[in-house]
Amino acid sequence: MLVQCGKIEFHLISLDVELIAELCQCPPPTHPAGCQLNPKYRSISGICNNRQNPLWGAANTHLVRWLPAEYEDGESEPKGWNQGRLHNGFQLPLVIYKIHVDKHYFSQTANETVTNDDLYSQMLVEWGQYIDHDITFTPQSTSPSPFLTFTDCSSTCENHNSLSTFCLPFCMPFQRSTSVCYLNFTSDIIQALQRQQMNAITSFMDASVVYGHTPKMERLLRDLSGFNGKLSVNKQFKDPKGRPYLPFVASLPSKCLQDPQGERVECFSAGDTRANEGLPLTSLHTLWLREHNRIAEALRRMNDHWSPEIIYQETRKIIGALHQIITMRDYVPKIIGPESFEHYIGPYGGYDPTTNPSASNVFATAAFRFGHATISPILRRLNESFQEHEQLTHLRLHNTFFSPWRIVKEGGIEPILRGIIGTAAIAVSPNMLMSEETTERLVVLNIQQHMDLASLNLQRGRDHALPGYNDWRAFCGLKRVKTLDDLKEVVGNKVAEKIHKVYKHPDNIDVWLGGLVENLLPGSRTGPLFSCLIGKQMNVLRNGDRFWWEAEGMFTQQQRAELLKGSLSRIICDNTDLREVPYDSFIFGKYPSDYVSCNYIPLMNLEAWREERSEDLKRCGSPAKIKNGDFILFSRCDKLVAQYSCYHGFKLKGAAAIVCEGNRWSDQPPQCTGISRVTKRWLGWMAVVLSAHLSSQRPGFTSTVPSVFRFEQWKHFDKD
């Protein structure tokens, strides 16, 4: 087997390269010919979704550039890196300055009243964060490694031009986004030589936020010992009605905050590592864990000939479809407006293999961060009548970060869900962009001081070398802003004067801020620029996904009809104590007049997934079960095929696929064997060498790789 990582090639014979790929932070190398094995279910890493371009949309690949990067040195130095450098005749202002000078234009204070949006509920905001975590995650280099220099940004006020570090000059800790490693050079040699940022998760709207994006994560989240296709649940705590919570993370003690008066409640584990960032986000993760297990149980009862793997994969397929439907039907039109939805997205025309579904850098770093301006400074927790809770007080936002103990010990997820359904969303206002809860009291684990989300967003855009606001307006076919009057026309008088005073030149305006303060389009929560960028991204996520729920062959006509009955309100009804909800949980209404009983919320009939035993299966019988692996069934060339696979950490030995021929299976089932400790150590050693080499090829790398590694240093790689 050939492993190509950067410019080094290694020939490995009968060895699993998954660990090497994982530690290299590169997806396993593949070839289109290897993408034909499983036609029914998407891979956990997103690889091979597109058979001709198997890395499109896959985890640990680069965020795509819709416009060329603008590094100050052409390769890796962020905008504003070289103090004194002029842009269009002026220095770029410090990001912290833009937000806090004359603060009342840009930040809500604790004493100011926010303006509510009487049309939408706070659930619209929370879903935006949740689904963003299903599409993009750009990791930062936050921990030292054996072969890189590392600077603690909390202890320095100087720029550090190294691979791992980029510190703001005003003493706010800031690590640069991790740069991606190229598996091979593309035809665009300039882009290949520039620093490109990584999307660590799959770009697809595939419910990776529930299931993870690597085989290892997937295995840890599954209840493999139950042989039922379900996800693991918390073994220590349940809610007051016996419903499950998310399992705890494997590494204990975790860093989540604790109730000073009670027993520990560790960080929850989910398909996305950010699940504990806030209580509403954790509550949504909990909902989908319960929904998976509810559906899996129903499918197991009606299809007793299905293997646990088929139950799991079919349930995962349904959950992924519900994520797509809720987002594209119920969420996106409210964000970009009906006209922009029709213009940029429109009706579904089928899967297009020429469309690259990968997340774009500007979407991840700027456009889809529009929601930061609608974060509520208060989390209201409501009782069964959607009134002030008798025991549970409202919480300021900073008291909800990384605090899963509040869910376990303070009434479960129901008071939180009632609060975000029964509270009007914050209206977007360019005069008061962000709450002080996010600009003064943002909590980030492992950083002692409070952070400023607005400044982080602006500096992240510069770290990623995003072109300015005007270039993106031109990209979307919008008029460039050339004068102060032009700016007043698109953002309003006071805001235009403020921005002009700070930036001096319209071409210097950061895209996140410029897009955020634009006048909103009718029926939308965004202005023309962000409506364009979000619309274009959603279009390619849908059209470039071979497993999109509407794609040919994904579901039967009856199943599609049932999926369309799905809604966030129905999922809340099926997995919580809430018995009355709005028909659409994103719409704000008064209780009880605008609420309906769960009995009137359409219910998806899972009978559409009932499958009788085929004649082939009756003749050949169920394929044999194997230890540390399982099989799925599908038809190929009018023959029933059982395809086996091993769980993460095991290797397949024998025929991966056996065929029902006559009244017997064509071969004995394979075995799943463990990887020896010697092999694991060797793989760990090779991962270090490969990763060091890759790092040395990245733009901005200034450290030297030690010439000798002690093999004993890497003994921990033989651990699972």
What CATH number does domain 615-674 carry, 2.10.70.10, 3.40.30.10, 3.30.1490.100, 3.20.20.210?
2.10.70.10
User: What are the angstrom distances between the C-alpha of 142 and each of 20, 149, 185, 445?
Assistant: 21, 12, 27, 11
Work out the average pLDDT over 599-619: 97
State the amino acid at position 644 in one-letter form: Y
Angle at CA of residue 336, ends 598 and 275, nearest 5°: 60
Question: Residue 619 has which token pair?
Answer: 């003749």
DSSP assignment, residue 426?
A: E
Residue-wise pLDDT tens digits, 687-697: 555 555 555 55
Answer yes or no: is pLDDT of 17 > 90: no
* pLDDT greater than 90 at residue 484: yes
Q: How far apart are alpha carbons 206 and 230 in whole angstroms?
A: 17
- Give me the pLDDT at residue 79, please: 87
How much is the average pLDDT of 430-446?
55
| Structure-derived torsion over alpha carbons of residues 151, 152, 156, 160, reported in degrees to the nearest 10 | 30
Joined together, the tokens standing for residue 710 give: 């002690």
Amino acid 15: pLDDT:
39
Spatial neighbors of 401 by CB under 8 A, at least 6 apart, are: 257, 277, 278, 442, 443
Greater confidence (190 vs 219) lies with 219
φ, ψ dihedrals at 238, nearest 5°: -130, 165
**Helix, strand, coil abundance in the chain, percent, nearest 5:** 35, 10, 50
Cα–Cα distance between 436 and 280 in angstroms, integer? Answer: 19
Burial class (CB in 10 A: 0-12, 13-18, 19+), 719: exposed
Over residues 632-644, mean pLDDT: 92
- In this structure, the strands spanning 639-646 and 657-661 are antiparallel
The model's pLDDT over 656-691, given as tens digits with 9 standing for 90+, comes to 999 999 999 999 999 999 876 666 666 666 655 555
Is the peptide bond between 280 and the residue preceding it cis, with omega within 30 degrees of 0? no
Residues in the chain, total: 720
Measured between alpha carbons, how far is 205 from 222 in angstroms, rounded to an integer?
A: 20
CB atoms within 10 A of CB 679: 16
pLDDT of residue 82: 86
* CA 622, chain centre distance (Å): 37
Round to whole Å and give the CA distance between 449 and 426. 26
Per the CB < 8 A criterion, the answer to whether 78 and 166 are in contact is yes
Residue that has been written with the tokens 């300055």 in this structure: 97
- Per-residue pLDDT at 109: 47
Q: For residue 93, is the peptide bond before it cis, meaning its omega torsion is within 30 degrees of 0? A: no
Eight-state DSSP code of residue 417: H
Q: What is the pLDDT of residue 3?
A: 37
- SS3 per residue for 117-138: EEEEECHHHHHHHHHHHHHCCC
Give the pLDDT confidence of 645-655 residue by residue, as tens digits. Answer: 999 999 999 99
Kindly indicate the confidence band of residue 326, based on its pLDDT and cuts at 50, 70 and 90: very high
User: Treating both helix axes as pointing N-terminal to C-terminal, what angle do 123-135 and 279-302 enclose, rounded to 10 degrees?
Assistant: 70
- The one-letter amino acid code at 377 reads P
Residues near 140 by Cβ (< 8 Å), separated by ≥ 6?
Answer: 175, 176, 177, 178
The residues annotated with a catalytic role in the active site are 133
Nearest to 61 by CA among 176, 177, 179: 179
Residue pLDDT, tens place only, 378-402 = 999 999 999 999 999 999 988 999 9
Beta strand 434-435 with 107-108 is: parallel
3-state secondary structure of 489: helix
- What is the average pLDDT score of the chain? 84
Q: What is the CA radius of gyration of the chain?
A: 26
Token reading at 35: 């993408």
Calpha distance 291→42 (Å, rounded): 20
Residue 579 has a CB neighbour count (10 Å cut-off) of 11
292 appears as a binding residue in the annotation: no
pLDDT at 717: 40
545 pLDDT exceeds 70?
yes
The C-alpha atoms of residue 92 and residue 602 are separated, in whole angstroms, by 54
Q: What is the residue extent of each domain of the chain?
A: 38-136+182-346+361-611, 615-674
CATH of domain 38-136+182-346+361-611: 1.10.640.10
- Residues near 527 by beta carbon (within 8 Å), at least 6 away in sequence: 490, 515, 516, 517, 518, 519, 520, 521
> Do residues 425 and 586 touch, judged by C-beta distance below 8 A?
no
Q: Which of 671, 115, 701, 47 is nearest to 374 (CA)?
A: 115
96 confidence band (pLDDT: 50, 70, 90): low
SS (HEC) of 520-573: CCCCCCCCHHHHHHHHHHHHHHHHCCCCCCCCCCCCCHHHHHHHCCCCHHHHHH
Give, in order, the Cα–Cα distances in Å from 390 to each of 114, 369, 378, 418, 577: 24, 35, 17, 14, 17
Q: Is the pLDDT of residue 422 over 70?
A: yes
| Residue 337 Ramachandran class (φ > 0 left, ψ -120 to 50 alpha, else beta) | left
Please tell me if the domain spanning 38-136+182-346+361-611 has the same topology as the one spanning 615-674. Answer: no
Asked if 527 contacts 512 with a C-beta cutoff of 8 angstroms, the reply is no
